[in-house]
């Protein structure tokens, strides 16, 4: 897929797709970068009552402009609470977080994520940042949205070198057997090629929609495992002029969406 479509670029498209998943009146745990841009876009358009939650403790702010980190003072602007990491993680464990955004170096067919090591644990090829709050969020948020811009057979893998964050683990019933709350888990995977969900019975990843200019074959082929198809496969909507205006308003310097 081309990085730039003339009227919008790939990052702007992905922000609009991610924002479209967020419903009004729900809560979303967001991190810096694309998840935050998506959350701000949703709050300023179709989801004005969405509660944005930051890891550093900002709960329900009306963020005036893109912060540089989750601890930036702007993440507390007009917030309902200036709390702490302990409190927001406790809120997640208590079932108050509807959506969380996560990324990773690799994902498997069941939505498990690796952000720890590539290769053997004792002698890895690459040592990654680790979990941070990702394990907590992926374990207890009701719906996890995975953003993985570089979809390829290296990032969509049949078996992870290390499971940092649980998806559906080994399949149906595995999350519950591990002691995780029922009805939680991966919801959507958004990549540069399309949007993926998880089969209701098998819990394996399946293609829901492709981005403009991407074929079903391209989206399924850029993977190290077999990806099912949820018929009919849709095409994600291109950003509207209003969405693009808002995106450039919240990120005027183009730190995330680019220029």
What's the pLDDT tens digit per position in 130-183? Answer: 998 999 999 999 999 999 999 999 999 999 999 999 999 999 999 999 999 999
Q: Which helix (H) or strand (E) holds 235?
A: strand 228-235
Q: Write out pLDDT tens, residues 14-66.
A: 999 999 999 999 999 999 899 999 999 999 999 999 999 999 999 999 999 99
Q: Which helix (H) or strand (E) holds 10?
A: helix 10-20
Q: Using DSSP, how many helices (H) and how many strands (E) does the chain show?
A: 7, 14
One of 3.90.1580.10, 3.40.1080.10, 3.40.640.10, 3.40.50.11890 is the CATH number of 10-250, namely 3.40.1080.10
Q: Write out pLDDT tens, residues 60-105.
A: 999 999 999 999 999 999 999 999 999 999 999 999 999 999 999 9
What does the block give as tokens for 17? 């797709």
Residue spans of alpha helices (H) in 163-215 = 174-177
Contacts of 100 (CB under 8 A, 6+ apart): 28, 29, 30, 92, 137, 138, 141, 143, 144, 145
Q: Is 206 a catalytic residue?
A: no
Q: Which residues pair with 114 in a beta bridge?
A: 106
Chain CA centroid to CA 151, Å: 14
Q: Write out pLDDT tens, residues 244-255.
A: 999 999 999 999
What is the per-residue pLDDT for 224? Answer: 98
Radius of gyration of the chain (CA): 18
What does the block give as tokens for 6? 């003339």
Choose the catalytic residue: 12, 55, 158, 231. Answer: 55
* Cβ pair 205, 179 in contact under 8 A: no
User: How many residues are there in the chain?
Assistant: 259
Overall average pLDDT of the 218-235 stretch? 98
Helix, strand, coil fractions of the chain, as percent rounded to 5: 25, 20, 55
């Amino acid at each position: 897929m081309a990085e730039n479509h003339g009227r919008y670029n790939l990052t702007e498209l992905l922000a609009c797709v991610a924002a479209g998943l967020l419903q009004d009146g729900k809560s979303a745990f967001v991190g810096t970068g694309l998840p935050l841009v998506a959350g701000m876009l949703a709050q300023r358009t179709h989801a004005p009552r969405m509660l944005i939650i930051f890891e550093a403790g900002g709960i329900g702010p009306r963020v005036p402009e893109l912060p540089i980190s989750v601890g930036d003072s702007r993440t507390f602007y007009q917030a309902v609470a200036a709390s702490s990491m302990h409190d927001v993680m406790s809120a997640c464990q208590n079932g108050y977080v509807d959506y969380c955004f996560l990324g990773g170096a690799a994902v498997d067919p069941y939505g498990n994520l690796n952000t720890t090591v590539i290769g053997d644990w004792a002698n890895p090829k690459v040592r990654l940042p680790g979990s941070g709050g990702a394990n907590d969020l992926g374990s207890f948020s009701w719906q996890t949205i995975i953003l993985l811009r570089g979809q390829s057979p290296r990032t969509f893998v049949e078996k992870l070198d290390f499971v940092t964050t649980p998806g559906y683990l080994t399949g149906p019933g595995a999350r519950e057997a591990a002691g995780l709350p029922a009805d939680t888990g991966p919801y959507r995977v958004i990549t540069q090629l399309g949007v993926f969900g998880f089969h209701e019975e098998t819990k394996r990843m399946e293609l829901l929609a492709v981005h403009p200019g991407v074929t079903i074959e391209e989206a399924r082929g850029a993977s190290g495992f077999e990806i099912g198809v949820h018929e009919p496969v849709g095409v994600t909507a291109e950003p509207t002029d209003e969405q693009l205006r808002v995106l450039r308003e919240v990120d005027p310097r183009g730190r995330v969406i680019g220029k």
